[in-house]
Amino acid sequence: MPGKTRHWLLRLSGLTLLAVALYLAFMTVSDYRPGEALELGIERNRAEILSKGMPLSVLTFNIGYCGLDAAEDFFMDGGRRSRSRSRRQTLLNLERIASFLTGSRADLLLLQEVDRRASRSHRVDESARLRHDLGSYASVFALNYNVPWVPVPLLRPMGAVKSGLLTFSRFKVRSALRCRFPGREGWPRQLAELDRCYIETRLPVRGGKELVLLNVHLSAFDRGGRIRKMQLAHLRKRMMAEYAAGRHVIAGGDWNHGLPGSDPRRFKATAERPGWYETLPDGFTPPGFVWAVDGAMPSIRGTAAPYRAGINFVAVIDGFLVSPNVEILEVNGRDLAFNNSDHNPVAAVFVLK
């Protein structure tokens, strides 16, 4: 190799290493590390107090940052893409999701993967749009993904991400906390990962204590499921403590596990089961607690490829776990055919006993 060529290659290698070192230093300094419990603001809080004995409708929906509609795949699941294909498509998905949520007339809404001006959703503020369209609800937002720049995939990186959980309530919210889940990936992987959490909202109950409502979104791609086990142990302990104190507990959201009462083998699919799919471990469900799950309607599709019914892997990972003093009247997965998200919503009706 000529000396001049070797010289330029060495300079290029040095500049590349310097750029990587500067990136890692910047990401380390700016790493989002909120405390164990962070008080959250409540927008447009309501005056009406929840009562025992009344039907209470709750809906959970992972909206997939309005970028994982049926035509999309996702690089972490074996696909190629990391962003919505256009701002126009993001807005269309958001409009349809907002219309569905408004029409559902649920008392409580638990949403996951709601972006705030992230690169992957073309800087659309999905939280602001949903809060506007659902202006008759109290609302609480918590960040669980706040990264200045996600560098993968290399050819079209995910970029800047700011996203989180959003809870809506037709009833008065007494307090709201961002509660940190235990467990983090090692450095430097964690620098581009989510900081997992759940939203705890406390709603006063007329003639009773409180409803503790948990909006959860557990890890999916942690190696070996180590972090998921830590999150589940934490959540189980927390729910049992709240119930032991005489409170009603409803936890709902994206559990990223196959839920009790469901089995992906009942759904037609030719794609292989993805590596991230695991069922909840035996012994997780606290004594007396009950699952509200619609095992007949898939709530998640595999995103290794765009959605085709009967081809993609589908399963049930979204639903609710409730304490013994909460009665389940009905639970229904809503078939939206994954048109605007890689999830389908799940709705349930409860009564606080």
Angle CA(138)–CA(141)–CA(146) in degrees, nearest 5?
170
Q: Would you give the DSSP letter of residue 220?
A: S
pLDDT of residue 187: 73
Token couple for 331: 């639970």
Measured from the Cβ of residue 269, the count of other Cβ atoms closer than 10 Å reads 19
Q: Which two tokens stand for residue 347?
A: 């709705």
User: Per-residue pLDDT tens for 12-44?
Assistant: 666 667 666 676 666 677 677 889 999 999 999
Give the class (CATH, top level) of 36-352.
alpha beta
Strands 175-180 and 37-39: antiparallel
Smallest CA-to-CA distance from 139 within 158, 104, 114 is with: 114
pTM for this predicted structure: 0.96
Q: Which residue has the tokens 């996203």?
A: 163
How many Å apart are CA 305 and CA 288, to the nearest integer?
40
**Token pair in block for residue 108:** 């409580």
Q: What is the pLDDT of residues 280-335, one digit of tens each?
A: 999 999 999 999 999 999 999 999 999 999 999 999 999 999 999 999 999 999 99
Q: Where are the domains of the chain?
A: 1-30, 36-352
Q: What is the DSSP letter of 343?
A: B
